[in-house]
Every structure is written in structure tokens, then in C-alpha cells.
Structure 1
């Protein structure tokens, strides 16, 4: 697909809103996305078909239900990177519920499959400060870092010459659109997020992207990385 075609797909506000909603890493129905963007089901279906045909979304069907999700982590990275280039002025919440959600997402949220918001940036600062990840020439996991993460149960096999594990970078930076600083993405970012959710260091709020750090999570972050939440 050409750059112009990708740009054209994301230039529409409704399609962009769908992609932003899907950054929570889950599969949504067309009806859920229609309500999220405030459009009719028929309009949503038309836009979703274009995004699927363009390779930005993948479709899954279960019985009568049609679910869509971001096609892969590279699409998620593209959406998040583009969102970071948006004007820095925060959108004005329309009501108390939206204000609460936006505040929660700024504190801690998922960015597709890794940690973002203040929590994500704080964890990134901590692993770099402790020498677990180096930022001298782009982000890279150090050998002490591999051993430390292995101690948590996160195995990061030696990457190939391109610094990748499979088709995905072992670690890469992702510009956080609320903090305007980078957080960890790639295999390591996904593994840390999955570990935090599995160990119940964080919990989803209301089924969306926002996360809440649990009391146990606060203790673990303090003990392991000296991160204060």
C-alpha cells in the first residue's frame, strides 16, 4: 500500500477515532465502534470495510458477530506515533465521566499491548536508570537486563543482527502522546505489560484502556524499580 493511501485512510476523523479506540488491544464490534465515534451502524460498517481492505484492521467473526482489531503491532505503533504528533493541547472533556476517563488514561493506560501514560514513562526511566535497558544508540536490552528480566520470568532470547525477535523489535521507543516522552514498546514492552496484568500489579478500569495500579503493584514497583506511584 502506498503512503498516500495509508494517509487517506487515516485522514477521516471517524476512521481515526476507530483506530484510536482499538489501541486498547482488544477486538471491538462494529456497533461498539459506531457508538464510540457517534456515527450510525451503516456508516461505521462502510469505514471499517475500507480499513480492513487497506490492511490496517483485521476482521474476526464469531457466529453473527463481527469483530475488528488492529492488524498487528506495527499498525498500533503507527497510530500511536501519529497521535503523538497531534497538537499538544489536551482535548476538553465534555462531561465529568469523560474527564475522569482522560485523567485515568494519562496516569496509566495500555498502548496496544504495552504500558503508557505516566506509569509507562516512569517504568521506562527506571529500567534505563538501572542499566537494564541502554539508550546510548537507540533502545537495547543490556546483558544484565536480560538476566534481571529473566528473574521476573520474562525471557528475551538473543536477538538477531537486526535487533529483532521474530518480526518485532525486542525493544523500541514509542512516543507517549500524553507525557510527550517515550515509553517502552516492542517485545519487552508487551512482556512487561502482560506480566503486570497477570500479577495484578495493574487492573483495567471499566474495560477500557485506563489502568489502575493496585496496592500490590505499588509495592512491587517500589521494591523492584524504585518507582513511586
Structure 2
């Protein structure tokens, strides 16, 4: 096929194990140096720099300079959503790491997916918003209802400000551990930021895990009562 999108180029960029590891680390939403990414991928700094140049040329990562340092991050939301979707597909098809680490339970409970909440808590939050009529979902598309706007205002979310952004307010994202959708978009990001700002939760320093305090977890569950699992 000589016309249309070339998925082979994207597949080749992501398919290298070292580059895949660096992209996975960047799913935590933080900007990292080449040295930090080299350590995460288990490769030398010079090799990491070569990989990052390819990822940047392919539009998967971007960099910014601060003083003498250069920091790398995922290029945009679309890259994060694509990677989380691939993780979900890989998990569904049985392509899992052979020896899950001890942090897996924390990651499965609550973690950051680029800039929004994922894991069990992320999926259940979307479930409750849909069940209460605050978010409507149609396939991969999602929309905040009028009732949902009132709900978000009560939490302290500026929905008008979210609507002024160029990206979608709501969208669904396939969760790799739950194999169901969680809430992404600018609303997903705003909610996670709100949980952290209020002290309900904090981000892990060395992983993508989100840790809720005992009080924060109670408040989260009060705000989003978890539906019974069938």
C-alpha cells in the first residue's frame, strides 16, 4: 500500500524495547532528563540520546531546555492515549511482563496515565459518573452533561475554562489493567490535579502509582460511591 498513514514507522519507533521503556516511564506525566531515561531503560546515556532523537523526530516526545538541562516528555495527549491503548491491547492479548514487581497492586489500584487517573479508581470513577448521568459515553466518545457540569462545579472544577481549551473535555481511554475505560481529556486531568491539590492523594516519586491517604480515599469514595462488581 503506497498511500495513507504509515503505521509501520510508528510501530518501529515504539517497538524497540529501550524506546518502549522510556515511553512507558514518560507515561507518568513528568518531564525527565536523558540521564534519568537512560537509567530507566538500562542503557547508556549516548544510546538514550540517540533513541530520544528518533522519538522526537517521530513526534512522540518533545523537549524543553532549562538552564544546562534538557527535559523530555510525551509530545501531547494523543501520544499518551495511544500508549495506554497499546498497553490495554497487550494485556488483553496476554503480552505481559514475566515477573510483575511488588508495586503492581498499587499501580492497579490507582496510577497516572500521562495526566489523568487510571487503574481501578479511574475506571470506577467513570463508572459512577456515567451511572449518575454526569457523563455520557458513546463508544470512545464521552461528553459532560448539564448535571455533570453542576457536579464538577461543586468539586471546584472550572468547566468553562476546560471548554476554552482546544482538546476534548471528556474522552475515554482503555485501561491496561482493568481492560475497561477510564476518564481522560481535560476533565480527567483536572480531577486528578484536584485530588492532589486537596491532599487526598499524592504521586509516587519512583513509579506511576497514585497513593490516596486514608482520609482522601474516604472522601473519594464518598464523592464517587463505587458500584457493586458483578
Give the TM-score of the pair, scaled to structure 2.
0.88
Q: Does 2:165 match 1:153?
A: no
Q: How does 1:162-201 map to 2 (within 5 A)?
A: 165-201=164-200
1:86 aligns with 90
Alignment of 1:1-229 (within 5 A): 2-88=6-92, 89=94, 90-93=96-99, 99-136=101-138, 138-157=141-160, 165-227=164-226
Q: 8 Å contact 1:200–1:216 — kept in the other structure? A: no
Unmatched tracts of structure 1, length 5 or more: none
CA contact (8 A) 1:157 1:165 kept: yes
Q: 1:136 to 1:74 in 2, by over 3 A?
A: closer
3-state SS of paired residue (1:203): strand
Q: Is the 8 A contact 1:221 1:227 kept in 2?
A: no
Contact 2:91 2:176 in 1 (8 A): no
CA distance in 1, matches of 2:49, 2:221: 46
Helix, strand or coil for the counterpart of 1:139? strand
Give distance in 2, aligned partners of 1:211 and 1:150.
24
Q: Equivalent residue of 1:147, what SS?
A: helix
**1:183 is paired with a residue of what secondary structure?**
strand
Task: Tell me how far apart the structure 2 counterparts of residues 69 and 12 of structure 1 sit (CA, whole Å).
Answer: 18
Give me the TM-score of the superposition, normalised by structure 1: 0.89
SS of residue matched to 1:10: helix
Offset of 1:65 from its aligned partner? 1.8
Counterpart CA distance in 1 for 2:142 and 2:174 is 13
Displacement of 1:24 after TM fit? Answer: 0.5
SS of residue in 2 equivalent to 1:135: strand
Asked whether the 8 Å contact 1:165–1:187 carries over to 2, the reply is: no
1:136 to partner: Cα distance: 4.7
User: Partners of 1:33 and 1:7 in 2: how far apart?
Assistant: 20
Residue 165 of structure 1 and its aligned partner are, at CA, apart by: 5.0
Q: How far apart, in 2, do the equivalents of 1:70 and 1:118 lie?
A: 24
What is the number of residues matched between the two proteins?
A: 220
**Matches of 1:224 and 1:130 in 2, distance apart?**
11
